[in-house]
Amino acid sequence: MNTIKTAMLLAFMTALFMGVGFLIGGSGGMMIAFIFAAGMNLLSYWNADKMVLSMHHAREVDAASAPEFHGIVADLARNAGLPMPRTYIIENDQPNAFATGRNPENAAVAATTGLLRRLSPQEIAGVMAHELAHIQHRDTLTMTITATLAGAISMLGNFAFFFGGNRDNNNPFGFIGVLVAMLVAPLAAMLVQMAISRTREYSADRRGAEICGQPLWLASALGKIASAAEHTVNVDAERNPATAHMFIINPLSGARMDNLFSTHPDVGNRIAQLQEMASGGGFGGHPSMAARPADEAPRPVASGPWSEAGRRSSPPRSKGPWG
């Protein structure tokens, strides 16, 4: 199903490129836009994950450079039956995380230093389980392609602003066509991002809770992330707003409400779903899960790098939970 959705997304984006190209430069502009769109589709499929990680200056880490963070991801990947994804850390004080990659065999997860500093190991596990759920559901290909193409569509709208006025002789709609291209291209890209992200977050929250076995770990993490993100500017995300829908919490300033113009569902609604799961509302996850009040600290599972045994065997932390 996700393969069909991705193919439909690529077709829609290509058609949008061609339409904007026609509005800017007539049939010649449409052909140029088609060639550009075809190239972007190929580039997005094979390299969009690298492009997104580069946009946010993510650096890859391993078991030696970030033993606890890498260990948490490895243990969760085993729980989910997934290949071990590449792990990245982003030097950014805003607590946030995302997953990317065209399939589980070529996936990557990234967390900010702000997230690793502010959250407990249990909460980090809840967040990374959510990101692994995106990988398992194969959301990452669609979300990463959307991020790359939405950015390109916005650039095409800017191109219409700067150069469209000089092509009136080729543009059958004249200035009106250029104006429509300027307004429609970014708006269409934003609507696609919203359509892709909002429903997938609830599904990833639920599956993430099953992977880590404790819905309240993720619920607690979401509350902390949302509160801190409101007061912390993510400069790279502001420069690349087309990637906003990939993060677990909207990294952009404002627009965090559960309404038509938000890329993410309301955090309160997501936390309520997780609390319902924890209280026995149809959750069929890890057998160690037990209902507990929302303000009670979660108990670590019996094994893994965030357990008592894991902490005793891990090197002492001197610079934060990533080693």
Q: What amino acid positions are annotated as catalytic residues?
A: 131
- β-bridge partners, 59: 89
Asked whether residue 201 is marked as a ligand-binding residue, the answer is yes
Helix (H) or strand (E) holding 72: helix 67-80
Tokens 């393969």, located at residue: 3
How many angstroms separate the CA atoms of 192 and 190, rounded? 5
CA dihedral 109, 113, 118, 124 (to 10 degrees): 20
User: CA 127 → CA 73, 122, 139, 178, 212, distances in Å?
Assistant: 10, 9, 16, 43, 9
Contacts of 309-313 with C-beta under 8 Å, sequence gap 24+, read 310/71, 311/121
Residue 83 is given by DSSP the state P
* Contacts of 114 by beta carbon, 8 Å cutoff, 6+ apart: 92, 93, 94, 95, 96, 228, 232
Asked whether residue 134 is marked as a ligand-binding residue, the answer is yes
User: Which residue positions form the known binding site for Zn(2+)?
Assistant: 130, 134, 201
